[in-house]
Structure 1
């Protein structure tokens, strides 16, 4: 089932303790654009189908990445794309967005997503040792 945009953003707002949906949306756009560069093929298409359309399009048209980023570098890249962010705030952003994505994906699809990512992403998705 696809989450509605408002419901998706409300989850991100709650988890990230943002002051507004606009802040949550900014984080979601950056994190999903980076994630889309790392998840490919049918797995990316299946994940996109479970996200609100505007976020699915971001996932399907990602920022280009020359190599898979480790979880630490993913957080640093997020910080670089969000104005005024630090690594600490970016880690918070990544966690808020990816834990919401994990809920939308469900455990089976999330397991397949994690197989495409470097070790350690289970923590970013808030699902330690799901792999």
Structure 2
């Protein structure tokens, strides 16, 4: 079931406690562009199908990443793409967006997503996995 754009942005706005939907959208665009570089094949396509169209396109046409980023480097990369961001605010942005993505994905697809990512992303999605 695809989330509507407004519903998706409302969830990101609420999670991130943003003052405006524009802030939430900026965070969502950057985080999804970086996430898309880390996902491949059917998993990326399935996740895109559950996101609003504009955000799905960002996921499917990602920023290029030479190698998978560790969670810490993913947060730093997010900070680098958002004007005025710090590692702390970027961590907040990442968790607001990825928490919303996790809800949209559902547990089964999220499990497949986490298999494609370096260790530690479960925390960024707000879904700590027991080891």
Tell me if both proteins adopt one fold, taking TM over 0.5 as the criterion. yes
Structure-1 residue corresponding to 2:77: 77
Distance (Å, rounded) in 1 between the aligned partners of 2:86 and 2:129: 27
SS state of the match for residue 128, structure 2?
Answer: coil
How far apart are residue 130 of structure 1 and its match?
A: 6.4
Q: Where does the alignment leave 5 or more consecutive residues of structure 2 unmatched?
A: none
Distance (Å, rounded) in 2 between the aligned partners of 1:76 and 1:4: 29
Distance (Å, rounded) in 2 between the aligned partners of 1:130 and 1:73: 22
Q: Where does the alignment leave 5 or more consecutive residues of structure 1 unmatched?
A: none
Distance (Å, rounded) in 1 between the aligned partners of 2:86 and 2:30: 14
How far apart are residue 30 of structure 1 and its match?
A: 0.1
Structure 1 runs of 4+ aligned residues shifted over 2 Å read none
Contact 1:122 1:130 in 2 (8 A): no
* Aligned residues: CA RMSD: 0.9
Structure-2 residue corresponding to 1:126: 126
Structure-2 residue corresponding to 1:51: 51
Q: In the comparison of the two structures, how many residue pairs are matched?
A: 131
Distance (Å, rounded) in 2 between the aligned partners of 1:74 and 1:94: 9
Query: Over residues 14-60 of structure 1, what are the superposed CA-to-partner deviations in whole Å (9 max), with x where a residue is unaligned?
Result: 00000000000000000000000001100000000000000000000
* TM-score (ref. length: structure 2): 0.99
* TM-score (ref. length: structure 1): 0.99
